[in-house]
A and B are shown apart, each in its own frame.
Chain A
Amino acid sequence: MARSWRSKPAILVLFIQLCFSLISSSLAISPGSADGYTIHGRVKIHSMGAKGYGLYQKTSNVKVILNAGQSVTFLRPDGFFSFHNVPAGTHLIEVTAIGYFFSPVRVDVSARNPGKVQAALTENRRGLNEFVLEPLREEQYYEIREPFSIMSLVKSPMGLMVGFMVVVVFLMPKLVENMDPEEMRRTQEEMRNQGVPSLASLLPGAARS
């Protein structure tokens, strides 16, 4: 836990709005106007060999939400987003994208050290060196329907019934054949006494042989 709480001020640099566009990775915070700071970040969604989720991968359907809806923003085509006029304090950023699970991110905007920022995923308390948000996992909303197979049919209650019948019809006579004729007669006698032959009485007989 403590291991992951790295706070490297060197990485969490103060960014001036001018040079922001020059920095390739996304960072964090720049002093904006008098009433707050600006948080910049990036959402990266790899197509992790997703099956059938091509539809959800469009960045146009991704929303980034600050403090439970205080402000909502969208992604640019390259995945960047920014929040403006954010006051100093500890904030929460959530990313919503259908098909992906994102951890909310805790963002500390420091008033004493303008520009110093700490970001950490709240789910696993992992610190972020650069403000790039990636989904923790893909989400599969549907059960996968298993493809049709003979086994599934056999395993179904009706399949079990049929299977059982087959056993009774084809294997029982074989078992009965191998029986001692004496015992066989006795069993048949028993059956006749009972009136109707029943499976229950056949089964232990078979087991005994």
Chain B
Amino acid sequence: MTLSLLAHFEVLTSYKNFHRSLRSITSFVVTATQREREGERVTMGTTSMASRVFLLLLIFLSSTNLSLSLYEDQVGLMDWHQQYIGKVKGAVFHTQKSGRRRVVVSTEENVIASLDLRHGEIFWRHVLGSNDVIDGIDIALGKYVITLSSGGGILRAWNLPDGQMVWESFLEGSGASKSLLTVPTNLKVDKDNLILVFGKGSLHAISSIDGEVLWKKEIAPESVEVQQIIQPLGSDIIYVLGFFGSSQFDAYKINARNGELLKHNSATFSGGFSSEALVVSSEILVTLDSTRSKLVIISFQDGEINYQQTHISDIFGDSLGTPVLLPSKLPGMFSVKIDGAVVFIRVTGEGKLEVLDKINNVAAISDAISLSEGQQAFALIQHGDGKIHLTVKPSHDLSGDLLKESIDMDNQRGTVHKIFINNYIRTDRSHGFRALIVMEDHSLLLLQQGAIVWSREDGLASIVDVVTSELPVEKEGVSVAKVEQNLFEWLKGHILKLKGTLMLASAEDVAAIQEMRLKSFEKSKMTRDHNGFRKLLIVLTRAGKLFALHTGYGQVVWSLLLPTLRRSETCEYPTGLNIYHWQVPHHHALDENPSVLVVGRCGKNSDAPGVLSIVDAYTGKEINSMAAIHSVAQVIPLPFTDSTEQRLHLLIDVNQHGHLYPRTSEAIDIFQRELTNIYWYSVEADNGIIKGHVLKSNCIQEVIDNYCFESKDIWSIVFPSDSERIIATVIRKLSEVVHTQAKAIADEDVMFKYISKNLLFVATVAPKGSGPIGTATPEESWLTVYLIDTVTGRILHRMTHHGSQGPVHAVFSENWVVYHYFNLRAHRYEMSVIEIYDQSRADNKDVWKLVLGKHNLTSPISSYSRPEVVTKSQSYFFTYSVKALAVTLTAKGITSKQVLIGTIGDQVLALDKRFLDPRRSVNPTTAEKEEGIIPLTDSLPIIPQSYVTHALKVEGLRGIVTVPAKLESTTLAFAYGVDLFFTQLAPSRTYDSLTDDFSYALLLITIVALIAAIFVTWILSEKKELREKWR
């Protein structure tokens, strides 16, 4: 609103003259409309006209609180919020009876959710704690969702319609084990349905009504590795089956009513077992022997354990691959994957094996579901020529198909990983099937009647890294015509808006206004805008897929399943690490598309070979890729670009060799010139060492590689391992722009910020304090923070917080660091700020020195010189635990900063940097007050209106990314976790543009009224003059 005021007072102050004012009004209208067209940007040129009155009014009118706040009807105007669940690992359908059909799923992000089967929307969802991994999910009594989590330690029941937790049971036991959840349908004890849980080495029977543990039987004191629990239909007997060691099979027969052990049998098997076992029927188990060359059928009928072995080669002939038992539960048979094909084998009553079918290219097999007449069916998915083929087979007759469908599939989704099926009765009483499939990119799709009913991009729940890219420049002449066409629409819209302000609008009008505001065409355009609000967010997910999201509504512009990050024989466990800007064309290479570099590695350890991909940011096509290169320990984007604006990157491997990319002779020429100026550091957190490195010469290897360089250590800092352990290191964002080095303070004094890109913030804690809260006492824990110059290894500042511990979250910007930690003495969280100032430039304040030319303003800033720095620091209490910290970034760095705090409640709080100013004091002087220093309080305020996520939650919040818009006042913030949230922030309000709220119609009406008034007065004065003359 601020600038709209400016504009009006421009009109008001020029009111000395009617004619002139008329002219200025008309000209203003023209410019205003034009400016709206250009993206509602108005320049600041009019400030000079501001009079004292205007300033006073401005101060009076612009609200005084520091939070930037939102009206409820502005939700969705500049922000968007998307909810995801993650890669599904278990699903239970609930389609009985009438009412809403739903599927309850558990995911790898520890989410349980109830999804609408019609549209895939979330009915309800709960994100469990990060170490509360879900092991099993089922539905009990037809109304409760039962989840087993924390390694069989916690059993919870959730109300199916609304997701309210009904009961929670903690299962105790000793030792870790496989955890299994079984909800038998007809096992009743005193009218109470039992839930059988095996976890922590014990078998528990739990009442499904209130979660009470009815009985408990310890199974594993002698370390029996329990594989299966079988409860034969209609009996009161439970079989617990497991392996003892690697060569003994144990079967426990337990009374389901009271947990009494009826029988315990065991038998050794000379060949040994491989770890997994499959249930074929209620008395037969199948497994592989330890060499994986024999199939072992274990039957345990009436306590008699019998083994039958069959050589794989007897069944399949001479095969090359090792067989893998597939975990799908099929009645009376099992499936083995061998040589890329799946073989279905039936076990007949006497333990004979009968090969039923061999099917190639099978991607996934579902568990069998029972159809109406006791008949069972299962589904399998095959891939072929860009389609997926879904087949549903009855389990008694594999040759007949109940359903065979081919569905076109976007090849960016990869292969099918999992399938869950459900059946329904069609109107003609035949069986229909719906299949829920989980793809390689973690997306979830529902197939029904040969088509994809809905799909969810749940890969976006596990974002690894984010970069932004500009959109293409708009071609001239296109947009103007469109605006002319829409002029009528535009006017109509404003009349509607005016109706809204005057409270004349009907309910329909209000809906229309809201829709108009939310669905503005401008927001989702695929071109660059003047304000730089429209960008592409390029995100890398854990599945190895790149998505480009438009900042308008968060819609997916393109997606690419990176071939280098797909599982293959050469690359068993590919993991994506980071994305970097590879090519950002602006000046002389404008016609080229920007591109990003994706760095990953083939394995979990840092010495695994790296993979690189270069992807076009506009089209989402992979331009270039390199697989199985050297290991990647660190990626350093260098501040040099070649003639096509490709940025030079130095990749450091685990042997501290530097590898230059792109591999062109031009790049090497540029690099050779700057070779001596390249410094970097490495942190070995386990050993407590920080080292500085510099490049030496080309690598000495058998194969001459011009792009490989050897390095040497130039400094190292070793932290004493018995008193300090590194828990956090933070540097400034390389892209950050600092507007001015000088900071004017009260009394017309000036301070010079110490601004260096080579500062590293390090936090260490005492080893005893590195655990979670509650494990250390204040006396034995302390937190030490350092500011280290990464070129020289000089420690510029060191400070110890006694009685404090981690985890430490920190953010570094300009010349300050803000960090969050736990104060054990007060038992509260604290945030501290350190500001670092350059004393060597402080003399420049002296005017005489400036006049005489004795200043050192022009002296070069060098990291080699020993700086005279002074630091200021202050600490405040902060209420919440923190999950992420970030700071707003603007294009020129003029706008004041806000610290964005991701709280434990998955909300993002914007806190003005002025609250984190070490110069705050209890009683600031008037001069300091004028400067904007807030009186010191012991804790930082939490103003509800300054939550940038307002009433929304970014479940599972993991990171916050800020990007400057082109408009100086505005910064774009993107928070990601299981959910995604994007918004625009204006830390000092939008002083350089009119807000969306600005009512052009009201302005027009005022102008019309003024013109009318002019005419009225003119006529009146004419008449009066006439009367005077007649007098």
Contacts and interface: CB of A to CB of B under 8 A. Distances in A.
Interface in A82-97: 82, 84-87, 89-92, 94, 96-97
Contacts of B15: 164, 199
B17 A198 contact: yes
B161 to A, nearest CB: 11
Contact of A123 (B17, B19, B879): B879
A19 interface: no
Interface residues of B, number: 75
B88 to A, nearest CB: 21
A54 interface: no
Interface stretch (A4-12, A64-72, A126-134): A64-72
B170 interface: yes
B165 A75 contact: yes
A148 B1009 CA distance: 20
Contact of B827 (A76, A86, A106, A141): A106
Interface string A117-148: 00000110000000000000001111101011
B8 A161 contact: yes
A33 interface: yes
B307 interface: no
B350 to A, nearest CB: 47
Contact of A157 (B12, B129, B903): B12
A20 interface: no
A104 B828 contact: yes
Interface string A1-34: 0000000000000000000000000000000110
Contact of A33 (B69, B167, B172): B172
Interface string A145-177: 101100000001110111011101100010000
Contacts of A33: 172
A142 B950 contact: yes
B945 A99 contact: no
A63 B129 CA distance: 10
B303 interface: no
B827 A122 contact: yes
A98 interface: yes
B466 to A, nearest CB: 22
B773 interface: yes
Interface string B1007-1027: 001100100110010001000
Given A33-B172, A103-B879, A143-B945, A77 B166 contact: yes
B5 A157 contact: yes
Contacts of B950: 141-142
Contact of A90 (B131, B827, B953, B1020): B827
Contacts of A156: 1002
Contacts of B189: none
Contacts of B156: 74
Contacts of B944: 101, 139-141
Contacts of A92: 773-774, 822, 827, 881
Nearest to B19: A196
A67 B501 contact: no
A14 B951 CA distance: 40
B1003 interface: yes
Nearest to A55: B951
A141 to B, nearest CB: 4
Contact of B164 (A60, A85, A169, A196): A60
A132 B945 CA distance: 27
B864 to A, nearest CB: 42
A142 B1006 contact: no
Interface string B789-803: 000000000000000
B513 to A, nearest CB: 13
A142 B70 contact: yes
Contact of A71 (B131, B906, B953, B1017): B131
A138 to B, nearest CB: 8
Contact residue range for chain A? 35 or more
Nearest to B167: A76
B947 A141 contact: yes
B702 interface: no
A109 B774 CA distance: 9
Given A143-B69, A196-B17, A162 B1009 contact: yes
A60 B904 contact: no
A72 B879 contact: no
B1006 A158 contact: yes
Contacts of A82: 168, 170
Contacts of B1024: 173
B772 interface: yes
Q: Which of B5, B73, B164 has the most CB of A within 10 A?
A: B164
Given A76-B165, A98-B953, A161 B11 contact: yes
Contacts of A75: 165
A96 B1013 contact: no
A14 B547 CA distance: 55
Contact of A142 (B71, B172, B906): B71
Given A87-B774, A141-B945, A158 B827 contact: no
Contacts of B71: 142-143, 145
Nearest to B8: A157
B207 to A, nearest CB: 14
Given A141-B951, A142-B70, A158-B1002, A68 B773 contact: yes
A77 B166 CA distance: 6
Contacts of A169: 1013, 1016-1017, 1020
B772 A60 contact: no
Nearest to B1017: A169
B1013 A74 contact: no
Contacts of B824: 90
B1003 to A, nearest CB: 6
B9 interface: yes
A68 B829 CA distance: 10
Contacts of B70: 141-143
B168 A96 contact: no
A200 interface: yes
A163 to B, nearest CB: 11
A164 B21 CA distance: 14
B126 interface: yes
Contacts of B131: 70-71
Given A72-B129, A141-B944, A165 B1010 contact: yes
A59 interface: yes
A198 B18 CA distance: 8
B487 interface: no
Interface in B805-857: 807, 822, 824, 826-829
Nearest to B950: A141
Contacts of B945: 140-143
B1002 A68 contact: no
B17 A68 contact: no
B703 interface: no
A99 B952 CA distance: 10
Contacts of B734: none
B86 to A, nearest CB: 16
B905 interface: yes
Contact of A96 (B12, B128, B827, B905): B905
Contact of B772 (A68, A97, A123): A68
B163 interface: yes
Given A90-B773, A90-B774, A158-B1006, 9 more contacts: A60-B164, A67-B772, A68-B904, A74-B165, A92-B827, A122-B826, A148-B503, A162-B1013, A169-B1013
Interface of B: 4-5, 8-9, 11-12, 15-17, 19, 69-73, 75, 124, 126, 128-132, 156, 162-168, 170, 172, 501-503, 772-775, 807, 822, 824, 826-829, 879-881, 883, 903-907, 939, 942, 944-945, 947, 950-951, 953, 1002-1003, 1005-1006, 1009-1010, 1013, 1016-1017, 1020, 1024
24 contacts: A70-B772, A71-B132, A72-B128, A72-B129, A72-B132, A74-B165, A76-B165, A90-B827, A94-B880, A94-B905, A96-B903, A98-B905, A98-B907, A104-B828, A104-B880, A122-B826, A140-B945, A141-B950, A142-B75, A158-B1005, A161-B1010, A165-B1009, A169-B1017, A198-B17
